[in-house]
Chains A and B, each alone.
Chain A
Amino acid sequence: MSDAPPLPLAAPRAALRPERTQARAGLLMFAPALVLMLALLILPVAVAATLSFTDYTLGRPDLHWIGLGNYAEILTRPSYRKMIGVTVLYVVLVVPASVFLGLGAALLIRALKIGQTFYKTVYFLPVMASLLAMAIVWEFALHPTLGLVNRTLALGCGTALELWPWFARGCAGGFPLWLGDRDHALATLAFIGIWQSFGFNMVLYLAGLTAVPRDLYAAAEIDGVRRATERFRLITWPLLAPTTVFVVTVTTIRAFQVFDTVEALTHGGPAKSTYVMIYAIYEKGIAQNLVGLGAAITVVFLGFVMLISAAQRRFVERKVQDR
């Protein structure tokens, strides 16, 4: 120790600089999160990426490198191509509806003189409820014969509602089977997804709306903007842009991740009409023990989600530059 070269005199001083202290504290504070993220999120993704090039199954000691075999299967087999289509369709059904219902509810509730808390609470209930438990309840409600939905619809038979051709057909030949009907199952799941998520978006929009200065509306009024729709276009919508970007991003990612309702209600059926990607990962990787194939779908899925959020970021950056 004694013949170690003496430290340069500046070192202890430099180490105490506020910038250095901050940098050190910053690294120290981020380190636990970093380690855990790497171990619990990044490492599994890396493992999945590696396994996607193999035919690995749990319990079998050996594994074979099969190159892009799994990916080739995903891209060529029609059932997997359909899987991607179904997932995208689900997202396209859920995101706009959930975002606009959230915004609409927020705008309406904020305009109210009485009862704001009541509606906020009611609309936020589905967000707080366990989706899996509620999925089962929806299943009861949507039961083709016993369910509340179809029984309520049946009450409308014989009334003026029969002028609506769809309704008349329902009265004559029975209302849809909803979850059991390949033409309605995905839309029904999307409805449950919207039902469950728009309350969250409403809360985010309500928070965003409080940040819009009231003076702006007064100024617009004085500038001759009389119609509510014009005020919305001129002030509310542009000022809510950051909220909207956040809401759309979160809703999109969550819609892509739909799993609970599929697993509980349809198992991807009928006729693969609700076979979304995460369910496919679960079915192949865990239920059927085709780990390699499940891993490949995982990688494709992550690629998809990243592409979308990258596109969203680009969009946001352009918007910010426009200002």
Chain B
Amino acid sequence: MATVDLDEIRKTFGGSEVLKGVSLQIADGEFLSLVGPSGCGKSTLLRILAGLETQTSGRVCIGGACVDGRRAADRDLAMVFQSYALYPHLTVAGNIAVPLTMRRLSVAQRLPLVGRFLPGARARRAAIAQTVHETAEILEIRHLLARKPGQLSGGQRQRVALGRALVREPAAFLLDEPLSNLDAKMRVHMRAEIAQLNRRLGATFVYVTHDQAEAMTMSDRIAVMMEGEILQVGAPAELYDHPAELRVAQFIGSPAINILPAETGADGGIGIEGRPTGLRALARPVEHLGIRPEALSPCDGDGLIAGRVRLVENLGADLFVQLEVAGVARPVVVRLTPAARPSVAPGSLLRLRADPARITGFDVAGKAAPVARLAEAVADV
């Protein structure tokens, strides 16, 4: 078990910089997700951490020791790949045993046929088989040990890939989009299982994904990456409620946050489409307001915004209503309870108010800018 420190990691391919000085500290036993759209550099960062690629500059330290220049195999890390990368010619037991045979047996003992009869080989092989069985027990794949990867379902292959990582008891686990090849139901199931595994083993997990829902549900902390930089690192709730940047706010949460264009007057008062909102900017002028769908609710008065209902999506537990709002390019999404359904027929006018504590302001550069209620404003906007 170990901490992981990435210090000012830069990577250039050809002329383009894919990582622009990334620093990240991961605590011992922490589950950290690297999340971002494809091409943001998160996989490259993971491969540099694994030792499969070398950074152009910067340092990688694991458990306090810097491992730059050390081979991937010598970094005491295990990795689970998107395609599982199981050896197709080996059985499940063989696949799980590979990391151990490569480490615990000498070159001579690994030889086919003769290797078995060398002194010590038998005992070591028995020990490996024992460990493989125990690992299979944990993942509930004992009954699959004799099969080949080709005979397994996606979920089963996923478990075998986890088993191969688990069996080594590494300092940290690296997972590169391990769930993206599974169907939706299996993905939700494995999500919970991987998170449980992390608690149970107490090992450090570094999890790369483009799916913010995975990151939100599994992680202790999330690092949001875009264009080769980490935009924000924090607990899922912190990222959700207090995004440091417009891009983070937009990336985290589904349905996505509503972004309303705003203007800030000389006195700091914030308006939408020329109508005052009852909010004022505390430090810098605010260009946009971000409001989560569940922070909006229908009201009878003027409210914050009003729009015509365009589409109603009924998910059973929730009702997502899309509104056409003047001056806002994208439809505004509101989460309602199914009880509200009769009042939101498509085409009807809906007035909305927002919980001011849950409105985030963003300045012209897209950074979060603090807002507060105007002193003379009424209790609710």
Which A residues lie at the B interface, using CB under 8 A? 12-14, 16-19, 21
B68 touches A18 (CB 8 A): no
- B330 sits at the interface (CB 8 A): no
CA distance A307 to B152 in the complex (A): 49
Cβ contact of A16, chosen from B52, B53, B71, cutoff 8 A: B71
- B51 sits at the interface (CB 8 A): yes
**In the complex, what residues of B have CB within 8 A of residue A12's CB?**
69
B71 touches A21 (CB 8 A): yes
B53 touches A13 (CB 8 A): no
CA distance A45 to B51 in the complex (A): 44
CA distance A126 to B307 in the complex (A): 77
* CB nearest to A21 among chain B residues: B71
- B204 sits at the interface (CB 8 A): no
Q: Using an 8 Å CB-CB cutoff, how does the interface string of B58-72 with A read, 1 for contact, 0 for none?
A: 000000000011111
List 18 contacting pairs A-B, 8 Å CB cutoff, sorted by A. Answer: A12-B69, A13-B68, A13-B69, A14-B69, A16-B69, A16-B70, A16-B71, A17-B54, A17-B69, A18-B51, A18-B52, A18-B53, A18-B54, A18-B71, A18-B72, A19-B53, A19-B54, A21-B71
* CB nearest to A17 among chain B residues: B54
**In the complex, what residues of A have CB within 8 A of residue B69's CB?**
12-14, 16-17
**In the complex, what residues of B have CB within 8 A of residue A19's CB?**
53-54
Within 8 A of A (CB), among B26-76: 51-54, 68-72
CA distance A31 to B319 in the complex (A): 66
* CB nearest to B48 among chain A residues: A18
**In the complex, what residues of B have CB within 8 A of residue A17's CB?**
54, 69
Q: Which of A12, A18, A21 has the most CB of B within 10 A?
A: A18
Instruction: For the complex, count residues of B whose C-beta is within 8 A of A.
Output: 9
* CB nearest to B51 among chain A residues: A18
Q: Which of A13, A17, A19 has the most CB of B within 10 A?
A: A17
**In the complex, what residues of B have CB within 8 A of residue A16's CB?**
69-71
CA distance A133 to B205 in the complex (A): 66
CA distance A191 to B317 in the complex (A): 74
**CB-CB nearest 10 A-B residue pairs:** A13-B69, A17-B54, A16-B69, A19-B54, A18-B54, A18-B52, A17-B69, A18-B51, A18-B53, A18-B72
**In the complex, what residues of B have CB within 8 A of residue A21's CB?**
71
Instruction: Please classify the interface of chain B as helix (H, G, I), strand (E, B), loop, or mixed, using the class held by over half of its residues.
Output: loop
Q: Using an 8 Å CB-CB cutoff, how does the interface string of B297-315 with A read, 1 for contact, 0 for none?
A: 0000000000000000000
**In the complex, what residues of A have CB within 8 A of residue B51's CB?**
18
**In the complex, what residues of A have CB within 8 A of residue B52's CB?**
18
CA distance A187 to B267 in the complex (A): 96
CA distance A16 to B68 in the complex (A): 9
**In the complex, what residues of A have CB within 8 A of residue B68's CB?**
13
CA distance A18 to B72 in the complex (A): 8
**In the complex, what residues of B have CB within 8 A of residue A18's CB?**
51-54, 71-72
CA distance A14 to B53 in the complex (A): 12
Min Cβ gap B237→A in Å is 38
CA distance A248 to B242 in the complex (A): 63
CA distance A21 to B53 in the complex (A): 11
* CB nearest to A10 among chain B residues: B69
Min Cβ gap A249→B in Å is 30
Known: A17-B54, A18-B54; 13 extra A-B contacts, CB below 8 A, are A12-B69, A13-B69, A14-B69, A16-B69, A16-B70, A16-B71, A17-B69, A18-B52, A18-B53, A18-B71, A19-B53, A19-B54, A21-B71
Min Cβ gap B1→A in Å is 25
**In the complex, what residues of B have CB within 8 A of residue A13's CB?**
68-69
Q: Using an 8 Å CB-CB cutoff, how does the interface string of B114-137 with A read, 1 for contact, 0 for none?
A: 000000000000000000000000
* CB nearest to A14 among chain B residues: B69
CA distance A26 to B72 in the complex (A): 18
CA distance A21 to B54 in the complex (A): 11
Min Cβ gap B71→A in Å is 7
* CB nearest to B70 among chain A residues: A16
Q: Which of A12, A16, A19, A21 has the most CB of B within 10 A?
A: A16
Min Cβ gap A62→B in Å is 56
**In the complex, what residues of A have CB within 8 A of residue B54's CB?**
17-19
CA distance A16 to B54 in the complex (A): 10
Min Cβ gap A247→B in Å is 28
* CB nearest to A16 among chain B residues: B69
Min Cβ gap A14→B in Å is 7
CA distance A18 to B70 in the complex (A): 8
**In the complex, what residues of A have CB within 8 A of residue B72's CB?**
18
Min Cβ gap A213→B in Å is 18
Q: Using an 8 Å CB-CB cutoff, how does the interface string of B66-96 with A read, 1 for contact, 0 for none?
A: 0011111000000000000000000000000
CA distance A13 to B60 in the complex (A): 13
* CB nearest to B52 among chain A residues: A18
CA distance A18 to B52 in the complex (A): 6
* CB nearest to B69 among chain A residues: A13
* CB nearest to B68 among chain A residues: A13
**In the complex, what residues of B have CB within 8 A of residue A14's CB?**
69
**In the complex, what residues of A have CB within 8 A of residue B71's CB?**
16, 18, 21
Min Cβ gap A222→B in Å is 25
Min Cβ gap B160→A in Å is 26
* CB nearest to A12 among chain B residues: B69
Min Cβ gap B55→A in Å is 10
* CB nearest to B55 among chain A residues: A17
CA distance A83 to B53 in the complex (A): 56
Min Cβ gap B53→A in Å is 6
Min Cβ gap B255→A in Å is 32
CA distance A17 to B69 in the complex (A): 5
**In the complex, what residues of A have CB within 8 A of residue B53's CB?**
18-19
Min Cβ gap B19→A in Å is 16
CA distance A12 to B52 in the complex (A): 18
Q: Which of B52, B54, B68, B69 has the most CB of A within 10 A?
A: B69
